[in-house]
Amino acid sequence: MKLFTGPLSMFGAKAQIAALEKSIAIEAVMVPFDRDDNYEPRHPEVLRINPKRQVPVLIDGEVEIFDSTQIFEYLEDRVPDPPLWPRGVVERARARQLEHMSDEVFFPHVIKLMGLQHDMQSEAAVAACAACARFYVQMEHRLAHGDHLAGSYSFADIAFYMAQVFADRKGAGMTGDTPRLLAWRERVGARPAVREVVGPMMRFLASQGRPVPLALQSHLA
C-alpha cells in the first residue's frame, strides 16, 4: 500500500495517522513542497490519479483513490479493528460530521491565513482568527462529557488535531479560554501514531528555518 503525501500535507497526515493507528503497513511517498506550501514538482502518479492534482493519493493494488476522507473510509473497511469510527449509528454520524467540519468549516479560515501572513493585523486576518476561536469554543463544549470529540477516539479527533496544527502555525492557536480543548490536544498529540507523523513535519519546518509553534515543539524531540 502506497500513500503519496507531502512533508507539510495536513490531509496526507490524516490518512497516514489513521493507517498507523490500525497498524497498516504503508509506504509514504513524499511529494515535495515549495516554500509556499504548494506542490512542486507534481508527481506523475498524483497527476494520473487525482484530477485535482493534489495529495493524498493511495494505491493499493487495483485500488487507486484520492481525498483523505475517502482514503480513511477505505482503510476503515479494509482493517475494521481497531475502529476509528464509533460503533453506534448516531455516534458515527456525529463523528463523520465533525471530521467534515474540521476540513470544510474550520480549515478554510486557516487557508485564508496562509495568504495573509504578511499582514496579520488586516481586517481579513483578524476575522479569520476570530472564526477559528469561535470554532475552538464549539469544540470545547464537545469535550464537556468526555475525553474525545465524538465519544471514543476517532478519525474526527485526527482530523481536527491536524487542522489545529496548521491553524497554530498560521497564527490562530488555542488559548486558555478552552482548557478542555488544550488538554485534549495534549492527549491526542501524545499518541505514538500522531507523534510519528507530526514529528517529521515539525523537524522539516525547523530544518528550513521556519518557526515551530511553542505548543508543537515537543514534537521536535
How large is the average pLDDT for residues 54-78?
A: 96
- The yes-or-no verdict on residue 38 having pLDDT over 70 is no
Residues whose CB falls within 8 Å of the CB of residue 60, separated by 6 or more in sequence, listed in order: 1, 2, 74, 78
What are φ and ψ of residue 36, in 5° steps?
-95, 20
- The tens digit of pLDDT for each residue in 92-120 reads 999 999 999 999 999 999 999 999 999 99
Amino acid code (one letter) for 155: F
- pTM here is 0.94
How large is the average pLDDT for residues 72-80?
A: 97
Helices (H), 22-115: 44-49, 68-78, 89-101, 107-114
Distance (Å) of CA 1 to CA 24, 64, 84, 86: 9, 10, 19, 25
How large is the average pLDDT for residues 62-86?
A: 96
- The yes-or-no verdict on residue 170 having pLDDT over 90 is yes
Q: Report the candidate in 155, 160, 158, 170 with the shortest Cα–Cα distance to residue 136.
A: 160
Q: What is the pLDDT of residue 36?
A: 62
Q: What is the pLDDT of residue 39?
A: 63
Q: What is the pLDDT of residue 199?
A: 96
- The tens digit of pLDDT for each residue in 10-19 reads 999 999 999 9
Q: What's the mean pLDDT when you consider all of the chain?
A: 94
Q: What is the pLDDT of residue 191?
A: 97
Residues whose CB falls within 8 Å of the CB of residue 42, separated by 6 or more in sequence, listed in order: 31, 53
